[in-house]
Chains A and B, each alone.
Chain A
């Protein structure tokens, strides 16, 4: 799920950037530092949409670096248990398959794949129904439900299932519509 929230961060700026473009430097550094990171609490920071406030800088003794408290608005993405996501399959093996929904990695173990889908090893490992109408392989797009999340300080990992109504492959032209 996406959220638009305000976060705060203390930015350290090298003295060489002090000058007429200090503020621009600060923002670009903030974007570079923060976008794409993950915090366990808020999820993945997808994009910074604006800077709300830059506080007074504090010069650190000895180094000359200045610390600015910066408040910024950003879009974050945090997966929740029970959420339905669309994801791209990145790897298929006997134990299940891995998929990615944006920055989030999701693992679907083989017992959470419908019983009528069997693992086929070979050049392109895949899960296929007995009649071959539905195939899950690398690059397939699947709709899945998150049944568990492991949130670390800097990482979020999810367990998903496609063993439920309306879940499964969505890119397959035959299954579409």
Chain B
């Protein structure tokens, strides 16, 4: 797990750098509180760093996203080569086995979940770390190259204009424009001398206007180049760090499942059962059953919505590294029940919705919301949280719902507590041009929130 850590960090940085303002068009439910789903991509990527080969429906549930919406995002990432996906058919029988396993654990499965289990084709997705490194490196390379080319005004086709009749020509017409009497181009209609046209401004001002415009554009490009360097520095540094490390390889869905089946079977009779059934009758290994089961366990205690947090907690492997480095703040915090209650009291305003659920699990969710509210209040509260973290006994990964994303977004802008992100902030504030997504680093970071928060906690 340790080796995966820097890669996850890379993914998170890249997500915030490049996929912050990716918005999925054609949202079917514009009514649902937030019409703006930018930032969802970042949340999804972050969630994926926490689980290898997750079933898309489970992921959707965990993120409280509509599965269609999630699929759209995943398809986008697949095109971007960040994510590998696998689709395969699963029979209803397998689904039953799956459900049975879940039932054994004493957990209630959401209706939606059951419905979906019976569907025939299931999609799984996983981050492709090796490819991500290449994609990110290539993307940065392209950005820099494009700017450099533009700076050198390479690959641009010169345009010419006739000052007297305003007729315009391009370099393609050069052959017809050549005059053998002097060394200029001449207009075909009025035989006036043509002037090279750099910009619209240039053509108006003529003469030395050319140079000014050119100079100004040059400065702008240079500025942009500088900002790219500055804002991508953490990303590039992370790339360098990762360069010599072997990328975590999960292999295909099949191989991954095979590798993990054994582990589940040993500890979990139900899982073994399910896998046996599937293999015996259909010849397809059902290792994923074991995994799903794990998710379900956590879910059962809490609400359906709490699914994501439950998943994370369930996977033993995942927990330790996160706690150490990325800092699943939420998880740590959530451990401490006392803290939760305190925070709930503090931030009552937004917790109203879920008060009904104040069972143990429901408390977790509320706690999360409370936590975000608390973030606003700056460092005083942070310190308090730190204490709480230490106290925490139950680990619950962050469960960020879509609605929360919107809220966080605004809040987070104000309080950047993260160490990493602090570096970015000054740049973001400074830059005026948003052409590059880099500028949005801070905002994105806020959304996913977990990473940054963790760091803070660690410091405290």
Contact = CB atoms under 8 A, between A and B. Distances in A.
Given A112-B154, A164-B154, A150 B172 contact: yes
A107 B174 contact: yes
Interface in B164-221: 171-172, 174-175, 178, 183-185, 194, 196
Interface string B152-172: 111111101000000000011
A95 B174 CA distance: 9
B175 A147 contact: no
Interface string B413-433: 000000000000000000000
Interface string B30-60: 0000000000000000000000000000000
Interface in B274-331: none
Interface of B: 152-158, 160, 171-172, 174-175, 178, 183-185, 194, 196
Contact of B158 (A91, A98, A105, A112): A112
A114 to B, nearest CB: 9
For the complex, would chain A's binding face be called helix, strand, loop or mixed by DSSP majority?
strand
A161 interface: yes
A148 B171 contact: yes
B175 A161 contact: no
A141 B158 CA distance: 23
Contacts of A110: 196
A91 B194 CA distance: 18
Nearest to B153: A111
B172 A159 contact: yes
Contact of A98 (B155, B178, B194): B178
A148 B158 CA distance: 11
Nearest to A160: B171
B157 A159 contact: yes
Given A112-B153, A159-B172, 6 more contacts: A93-B184, A95-B183, A121-B183, A157-B174, A159-B158, A159-B171
20 contacts: A95-B184, A95-B196, A98-B178, A105-B175, A107-B171, A107-B174, A107-B175, A109-B158, A109-B171, A109-B196, A111-B158, A111-B196, A112-B154, A112-B158, A147-B155, A159-B157, A159-B172, A161-B155, A163-B153, A163-B154
